[in-house]
């Protein structure tokens, strides 16, 4: 057997890496990924080519609509020298009764990676189990790790560190942003407090896992029903929409439940004087956040949105290149 054949065989035996939650990364790998994202951002700004995924292809399955996720992954692949294929549920047989297993196996024969934005987290777990190429979570109802990579990158750029910072999440603690932030905070040594109304607490298993991991690093994860308590001395204030896709029939109930959880000027007076505000977008000004906060001097939401591109490029380079 020649050297080329040996190399090919060894490569085929390598275990693929998926990205379903931030916990799929080790702590060192996560920090390295953030450094890589900042480096790729610098390369783009200076016009330095960075085609680390030349010749690679990514299938992008969208069962939920998207702006930032689609554009960041599609442009990310283009800038890395690769190609992305957009597939919504009407374009593929997955939306017409084909099993997740069959779809995973078929796509694995065509592309180098699969990104999916879907509802149930079990869908992406099954897809990853059956696919022989890396699977990336573009969003599920339980986790949104691709977004939180950009959040962590944005915090690091503005604050110069992650460890030791205090982050508060105000709103629906049982949503995907809150869950992925809990994992990210625990992994990077940030203190994090979630403030939600009764009935909207974080997933208990994810919360306790994050709290245990944080304690091992000497940081803290906590929960409160008081948004004021959570906001005190916060370096980073984060919120999300009160009604996510698929929850539209709960809108009236949610507006009533969250009315005292708006991120506004009075609440942010309790935060650190140099606090930063993050929101994954789209935002509903006048509901979860006031225009004065999201469009004010402490807001980093548009840097955060841009950083989706650079964080996703770093992730794609790691998984596909």
List residues with catalytic annotation: 117, 144, 147, 240, 280, 308
On whether 137 is known to bind a ligand per the annotation, the reply is no
On whether 69 is known to bind a ligand per the annotation, the reply is yes
On whether 67 is known to bind a ligand per the annotation, the reply is yes
3-state SS record for the chain: CCHHHHHHHHHHHCCCCCECCHHHCCHHHHHHHHHHHHHHHHHHHCCCCCCCCCCCEEEEEECCCCCHHHHHHHHHHHHCCCEEEEEECCCCHHHHCCCHHHHHHHHHCCCCEEEEECCCHHHHHHHHHHCCCCEEEEECCCCCHHHHHHHHHHHHHHHCCCCCCEEEEECCCCCHHHHHHHHHHHHHCCEEEEECCCCCCCCHHHHHHHHHHHHHHCCCEEEECCHHHHHCCCCEEEECCCCCCCCHHHHHHHHHHHCCCCECHHHHCCCCCCCEEEECCCCCECCCECHHHHCCCCECHHHHHHHHHHHHHHHHHHHHC
On whether 168 is known to bind a ligand per the annotation, the reply is no
On whether 256 is known to bind a ligand per the annotation, the reply is no
On whether 144 is known to bind a ligand per the annotation, the reply is yes
On whether 273 is known to bind a ligand per the annotation, the reply is no
On whether 154 is known to bind a ligand per the annotation, the reply is no
On whether 234 is known to bind a ligand per the annotation, the reply is no
* 242 closest CA partner among 275, 197, 184: 197
On whether 66 is known to bind a ligand per the annotation, the reply is yes
Contact of 270 with 228, CB cutoff 8 Å: yes
Contact of 116 with 277, CB cutoff 8 Å: no
On whether 145 is known to bind a ligand per the annotation, the reply is yes
On whether 117 is known to bind a ligand per the annotation, the reply is yes
On whether 245 is known to bind a ligand per the annotation, the reply is yes
On whether 42 is known to bind a ligand per the annotation, the reply is no
On whether 96 is known to bind a ligand per the annotation, the reply is no
Sheet of 276-279: strand order equals 221-224, 191-195, 166-170, 236-239, 276-279
User: What residues are designated binding site for carbamoyl phosphate?
Assistant: 66-69, 93, 117, 144-147, 280-281, 308
Q: Which residues contribute to the annotated binding site?
A: 66-69, 93, 117, 144-147, 176, 240, 244-245, 280-281, 308
Query: Binding-site residues for L-ornithine, please?
Result: 176, 240, 244-245
């Amino acid at each position: 057997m020649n050297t080329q054949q040996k190399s090919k065989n060894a490569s085929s035996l390598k275990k693929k890496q998926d990205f379903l939650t931030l916990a799929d990364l080790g702590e060192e790998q996560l920090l390295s990924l953030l450094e890589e994202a900042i480096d790729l951002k610098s390369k783009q700004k200076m016009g330095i080519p960075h085609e680390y995924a030349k010749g690679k292809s990514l299938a992008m399955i969208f069962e939920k609509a998207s702006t930032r996720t689609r554009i960041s992954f599609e442009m990310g692949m283009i800038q890395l020298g690769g190609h992305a294929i957009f597939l919504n549920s009407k374009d593929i047989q997955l939306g017409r009764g084909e099993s997740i297993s069959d779809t995973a196996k078929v796509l694995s024969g065509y592309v180098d990676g699969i990104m999916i934005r879907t509802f149930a987290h079990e869908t992406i777990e099954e897809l990853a189990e059956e696919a022989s190429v890396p699977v990336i979570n573009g969003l599920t109802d339980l986790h949104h790790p691709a977004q939180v990579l950009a959040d962590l990158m944005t915090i690091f750029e503005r604050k110069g560190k992650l460890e030791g910072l205090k982050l508060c999440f105000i709103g629906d603690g049982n949503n995907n942003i809150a869950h992925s932030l809990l994992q990210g905070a625990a992994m990077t040594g940030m203190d994090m407090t979630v403030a939600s109304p009764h009935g909207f607490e974080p997933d208990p298993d994810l919360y306790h896992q994050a709290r245990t991991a944080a304690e091992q690093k000497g940081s803290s994860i906590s929960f409160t029903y008081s948004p004021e308590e959570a906001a005190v001395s916060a370096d980073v204030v984060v919120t999300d929409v009160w009604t996510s896709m698929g929850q539209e029939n709960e809108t009236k109930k949610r507006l009533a439940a969250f009315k005292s959880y708006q991120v506004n000027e009075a609440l942010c007076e309790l935060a650190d004087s140099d606090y930063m505000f993050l929101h994954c977008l789209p935002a509903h000004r006048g509901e979860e956040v006031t225009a004065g906060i999201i469009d004010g001097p402490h807001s980093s939401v548009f840097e955060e949105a841009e950083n989706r591109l650079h964080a996703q490029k770093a992730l794609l380079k790691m998984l596909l290149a």
